[in-house]
Amino acid sequence: MAKINPAQFIQEVRQETSKVTWPTRRETGVSTAMVFVMVILAALFFFLVDQLMAFGVRMIFGLGG
């Protein structure tokens, strides 16, 4: 295994970091908003599916209606 000088390592990290395309504040905000919207939609979907399945189980076992 090759040994790397700590100063060389830091220099290489800086070089690689400069190649990264960082998102703008607006892009970050839009992405965050989309995540929240998708989480809410998924939560509503699973809530509705759960309610329908619970209703079906109650009907099968005659516990309500």
- What is the Cα 55 distance to its own chain's centre? 31
User: What band does 5 get if pLDDT is binned at 50, 70 and 90?
Assistant: confident
Q: What is the pLDDT of residue 61?
A: 87
- What is the Cα 13 distance to its own chain's centre? 27
Average pLDDT, the chain: 91
Residue owning tokens 């309500």 = 64
User: 26-47, pLDDT tens digit by residue?
Assistant: 999 999 999 999 999 999 999 9
pLDDT surpassing 70 at residue 16: yes
The Cα 55–Cα 61 span in angstroms is: 10
Q: What is the pLDDT of residue 3?
A: 77
The Cα 35–Cα 27 span in angstroms is: 12
The Cα 61–Cα 54 span in angstroms is: 11
